[in-house]
Structure formats: C-alpha cells, structure tokens
Amino acid sequence: MKIRTALYCLKQGLVNIKRNKLFSLASISTIAACVFLIGMFYTIVVNFQYIVKSAEDQVGITIFFNKGIDQAGIDAIGAQIAANDKVANYTFTSAEEAWDIFKVEYFKQNEDLAEGFKDDNPLANSASYTVYLKNIEDQKSFSDEMSQVEGVRAVNYSEGTVSAMTSFGRLVGYASVAIIVVLLAVGIFLISNTVMIGISVRKKEIKVMKLIGASNIFVRAPFIIEGIVIGLVGATIPLVLIKVLYEKVVEFVMQQFSALSSIIVFLPQSTIFAVLVPMGLGIGAGIGFVGSILSIRKHLKV
C-alpha cells in the first residue's frame, strides 16, 4: 500500500470516528470498561500469586538427624541437599539454636523459667536442616528422597499446606483465563456493532468505490483503522486510571494492615505495568481489529 493511500485510509478511519461520535464514544467506553476490568483482575491475580509464592517460599522441609551423628555426617547430608536441583536454599539450625528459639517462643516474657534447665539442653537431638524448594509441589518427592539418606532420622513437611497452596494457585489460573475470555468476547461484540454503523452510513460510497475498481484492502482499511484507534484510546484511559489507583490502594492497605506487612507483599508498580501496559494496549487494539474484521466480513461483500 502506497504512503498516499495509507494516509487516505487513516484519514477516513478518523473521519468515521468523528462522524459516528456517539457510537465511537460508546465503543471507547465499552473497551475502557473491558480493559479496566481485565487490568484490575490481572493486577489482583498477579499480586495474589506473588503473595502465595512468597508464602510457598517460606514453607520449608525440616530434616532431623540420627542420635549420635557426628559433624562429618551432618555435613555429608548438607552436601546432598546442596547438590539437589530441587533445592532453592537451606539453613542449618544447631541444637543450641533450636533451644534458644524454643525458649523465646515458649517461655515468652518468662525466660527466667528456662534457667531451671541450665546447661541441660532438652533439645539436644534437635539439630536440623530447613530446606526451601524451588517448586513447592516437589516437597513430597524430595522428602521421600531424603528419608532414604543415611543419618536422617525424620523429614517433616506440611502436606496439607502444600496441597492447599497448589490447588489455590491452579484455581486462580483457571478463573483468570475464563473471566478474561468473557470480557474479550463482550468487547469484540460491541466494537463490531460500532463499525457496522459506520459501514451502514457509507454503504453507497463503498458501492461506488467497488464499481470504479477499488481494491478490497482500500475499502476495508479505514474501518480497520477506525476499530484499532478506538481500541487504543479505549485502552489508554483505564491504564492511566489503574496506575493512579494502584498507588493509592497499595498505600492504603500497607497503612491499614501494617501488622501483616511480612505476609501481604505487593509487586512493585514497575513490574506490574511492564506487562500491563503492552497487554492492555494490545487487547484494546486487538478488540478493535477483530471487531472490525468481523463486521466487514458480515456486512460487506468485498
């Protein structure tokens, strides 16, 4: 397509928008609503997934040793843990450290009560490794592997927690896809109706263009441009709104629930919008393009 022809098609597409102000505004509003809902849903979902992933990263597997094991045996077990591809990181807790932690948690403000034990550590056999995996779903298989290692007395992990987190993550994923598909379908339907109005208004003009030999691309292009422009404008508005709201909501939640700051962790705005902006603009333009194509194929014999 020549530059002059492309500019003409662009001009006609913008003229169509201006000519059908009411329907164009309705389409922009509809796409804005769709992109806003998709954007908000995406923002909520990725933050939920981030919170769940952060919680998963804190779910560890505790490995206890046989009574009387020496430091060489403990180090050998640690070497096997480090060599396992499923492991993200791990920490070692000595019997003395385990007792110190227990005293703080159990005796709380009455740590003097622990003085009765003096040098007698009741958790003398509680030295352990705490292992964090890259994927929480690997906890069972990893636990089974480590149970067979020489010198390992017990391997503890929370099977119920793992199952619940895995199921929740999958549910969120399925629900996300279903809702986004519905919103996209609604947007495409409404933009196609708007483009159809433009086609009806210019039907005689289009017929004349076809009679004098205008190509199919020449006839279709203005309507496709119209749909894409409407889609981009409709997508830009909610993206700006979501950006403003995200800052306010995060600030409000962190102030109101400061006690849960270690659990409720939000993704940085830059991380969210690095994906959301191109996705939102792509959805807007895509809805406009597909809606235009469907209308043209249905109502134009070109």
pLDDT of residue 263: 65
Read off the pLDDT of residues 23-71 as tens digits, 9 standing for 90 and up: 778 778 888 888 898 888 888 888 887 877 777 777 788 888 888 888 8
Q: In this model, does residue 259 exceed pLDDT 80? A: no
Residues 260 and 197 occupy one common structural domain:
yes
Residues 70 and 197 occupy one common structural domain:
no
**Domain end position, chosen among 135, 157, 179:** 157
User: What average pLDDT does the segment 241-260 reach?
Assistant: 82
Q: In this model, does residue 299 exceed pLDDT 60? A: no
User: What average pLDDT does the segment 271-291 reach?
Assistant: 88
Residues 98 and 207 occupy one common structural domain:
no
pLDDT of residue 119: 63
Q: In this model, does residue 222 exceed pLDDT 70? A: yes
pLDDT of residue 5: 64
pLDDT of residue 128: 86
pLDDT of residue 294: 73
Residue 162 in any domain: the answer is: no
Residues 30 and 122 occupy one common structural domain:
no
CATH value at residue 77: 3.30.70.3040
| Length of the chain (residues) | 302
Range of the structural domain that residue 89 is part of = 60-157
Residue 275 in any domain: the answer is: yes
- Buried b / exposed e along 223-249 (16+ C-beta atoms within 10 A): bbbbbbbbbbbbbbbbbeebeeebeeb
Residues 74 and 189 occupy one common structural domain:
no
Residues 196 and 284 occupy one common structural domain:
yes
Residues 234 and 282 occupy one common structural domain:
yes
pLDDT of residue 298: 59
CB-CB contact of 229 with 235 (8 Å): no
Confidence of residue 265 (pLDDT cuts 50, 70, 90): confident
Residue 110 CB coordination number (10 Å): 9
- Closest residue by Cα to residue 141 from 152, 151, 155: 155
Residues 68 and 10 occupy one common structural domain:
no
Q: In this model, does residue 10 exceed pLDDT 80? A: no
Read off the pLDDT of residues 180-192 as tens digits, 9 standing for 90 and up: 788 778 767 766 6
Q: In this model, does residue 111 exceed pLDDT 90? A: no
Residue 90 in any domain: the answer is: yes
Which residue bears the tokens 């263009």? 209
| Dist CA 64 CA 130 (whole Å) | 9
- Range in 35-49, 189-203, 264-278 with the lowest mean pLDDT: 189-203
User: What average pLDDT does the segment 120-142 reach?
Assistant: 79
Question: What global pTM score does this model have?
Answer: 0.65
Residues 191 and 258 occupy one common structural domain:
yes
User: What average pLDDT does the segment 84-89 reach?
Assistant: 88
Strand ordering across the sheet containing 152-156: 87-93, 128-133, 61-65, 152-156
Q: Number of folded domains in the chain?
A: 2
Residues 265 and 175 occupy one common structural domain:
yes
pLDDT of residue 104: 66
Which of the two residues, 249 and 19, has the higher pLDDT score? 249
pLDDT of residue 168: 72
Residue 2 per-residue DSSP state = -
Residues 191 and 89 occupy one common structural domain:
no
| Dist CA 88 CA 134 (whole Å) | 5
Residue 73 in any domain: the answer is: yes
